[in-house]
Structure 1
């Protein structure tokens, strides 16, 4: 197995850094899937036991100026690596003004993803910083554990309000309860509510957009399903701290954030920025 790539555009380096920074806020360990066309960062916890599922897709052509991959075989030209995004973030902290970054799969004492960062200097001499990030190679027999998650049929699809506003609301609500009820309808309305024995607090958002399924927004809604009442709310009870963590971690300033609710099953957040997409599946908690 071999991999090497080079990012030379400062804007791409900074965008790449923000994406990795977002992932490091959301997850401690994930799987990086490297293919000829894309990088995927994957977290696959068991939804039935309260875990979340994350699928982040980066087209390599959007970032890399040079890209060479030799996977485990000709038929399976891919590489799966387990790593800690926080280690990537530390390596990229030195690269904010870099002239280029080279990323290679190496083997030193153990497999590593090696970052070579070429930093600007006042002289003609180059200054290169090297970071060796330990990784674990995932055997091919386990690859099926990291397939793209199936998207259920949603009851409601709605564009979310500004994430900063949501974060401020949720940060206050999480002091009252461990759970928040997120509800929305097809009439552009969304509600957040926490309930305790002592108090019930809710925040309402109106005039939001219910997007038609285009522009790569995942959906499995049947085209021949009956039209639901647009004023009827679909609601989901979710872990408020995981929701707050999701809102706090965003550093990519997405151009589109879609919330899909499948009652009694899952809340699915879809973030899109340029060609980069992030799907975040949060399981519903029964009351």
Structure 2
């Protein structure tokens, strides 16, 4: 079992650091799956206890100049690691001026991801800074537990407003309640709403647009119009939503929210060769 990779391009290193930063803000611990073509950061808490799920997929060719992987067996060319993303982020933050960065799987006192940065030096000698990040190697018999979260049949999918705008709204609302109603329809409208015994507050967004897979009735019939304006809604823990919005360093080109009424809300952020999915289950 071997893994080694190298980043030379400064922009790629910066982008990779931003993604790890996002992951570190979403979870204290996650699973890192390495394959020949992609890297996956995964989190799958127990939904029954109100846990969230995350799935972040990166195309390795968009970040690494060299990428070599030998899995546990010829017919299983993959490696699964338990990782504390904050530890990886700390290592990456010290390498932002590096001429190159190498990451490899090593065996020290325990399995480690060793990050070695070739830093600029005033002398002719190179200056290499090395970080050993402890990881846990997940045995093959447990790999089946780490699969992409299943996606339910959603009632509505809608493009999100600018994430910074949405975050500012949530930051104000969180002082009023622990829970929030998120609702949207097939007419490009979305509402963020709080209702308590003392106060009722809502923010409305219009003309957001719906992804092309959202069915619409093109004949303009009354039934079609009613279907498009019907709101699907979900009650969520406002702190989980705030954490998701506060974590974002991905700068997505597209951000989509999908609602399965009274079950879950699914966010997906897309940016070039990176996709981040985040599921927040409904409450009560």
Aligning the two structures, in what range does the TM-score lie when normalised by the shorter sequence? over 0.9
Q: Are 1:248 and 2:241 counterparts?
A: no
Quote the residue 2:280 is aligned against: 282
Q: How many residues align?
A: 276
Q: Distance in 2 between matches of 1:151 and 1:258?
A: 14
Quote the residue 1:235 is aligned against: 233
**CA apart distance, 1:123:** 2.6
Quote the residue 2:173 is aligned against: 173
**Residue pairs, 1:24-173, within 5 angstroms:** 24-173=24-173
**CA apart distance, 1:133:** 0.2
After the TM superposition, list the runs of 4 or more consecutive aligned residues in structure 1 that deviate by more than 3 angstroms.
Answer: none
Q: TM-score, normalised to structure 2's length?
A: 0.95
**CA apart distance, 1:96:** 1.2
Quote the residue 1:269 is aligned against: 267
Q: TM-score, normalised to structure 1's length?
A: 0.94
Quote the residue 2:207 is aligned against: 207
Q: Distance in 2 between matches of 1:269 and 1:35?
A: 24
Quote the residue 1:216 is aligned against: none
Q: Secondary structure at the match of 1:241?
A: helix
Quote the residue 1:11 is aligned against: 11
Cα distance per residue 1:38-93 (max 9 Å; x no partner): 00000011112200000000011111111111101011110000010000110001
Q: Distance in 2 between matches of 1:187 and 1:124?
A: 63
Q: Distance in 2 between matches of 1:108 and 1:123?
A: 30
Instruction: Give the aligned CA root-mean-square deviation in angstroms.
Output: 1.3
Q: Secondary structure at the match of 2:28?
A: coil
Structure 2 gap ranges (5+) = 216-222
Quote the residue 2:220 is aligned against: none
Q: Secondary structure at the match of 1:20?
A: helix
